[in-house]
Amino acid sequence: MPRGGKKGHKGRGKQFSNPEEIDRQMRAQKEMEENGGAEKENSDSEEESSSEEEYESKKKSGVEGLIEIENPNRVSQKGKKVTDLDLEEPKELSRREREEIEKQKAKERYMKLHLEGKTEQARADLARLAIIKKQREEAAKKREELRKEKDAEEAKAKR
């Protein structure tokens, strides 16, 4: 029997935060914001520069201080305005659209060559058609000969 009884084992149990703890964290965050705002209003330019240095040193702790990483996913995308758009420029196609167009052009080229009889498949089809025409002509000749023989026999029988 699997762990967890008949229903099966579905992972660890859920842990919920204590509402009192959440309230405590919210109050602490508000106090930090209020204290930080009051310090900025009362501080001189010298204190601001020193607080900025402390902030930068705190911000770039560990590996972040050694390597400057620019995450392209973090940059907010700016929307383009309608007035900035150039309708004169040729539209850049996506890879799928380009492949689709190339596929259609290749198919058209193949069909053109096929109709001209220059492809392997067209040659095979034409050869097959020639064989079938010969067989039908031979069958028509045999039928004609049999009909003539039948007519001749009927004519002899009537005499």
For the record, the structure tokens of 112 come out as 């053109």
Report in angstroms the alpha-carbon separations of 83 from 32, 33, 91: 44, 41, 17
The CA distance from 151 to 107, in Å, is: 55
The CA distance from 42 to 51, in Å, is: 13
Do residues 110 and 119 make contact, with C-beta atoms less than 8 angstroms apart?
yes
For the record, the structure tokens of 124 come out as 């095979």
Structure letter (DSSP) for residue 86: -
pLDDT of residue 44: 47
pLDDT tens, N- to C-terminus, the chain (159 residues): 555 566 666 666 667 788 898 999 999 999 988 887 655 445 444 445 555 555 555 556 666 666 666 676 766 667 777 777 777 777 788 999 999 999 999 999 999 998 888 889 889 999 999 999 999 999 999 999 999 999 999 998 887
The CA distance from 75 to 93, in Å, is: 25
> Residue type at 84?
D
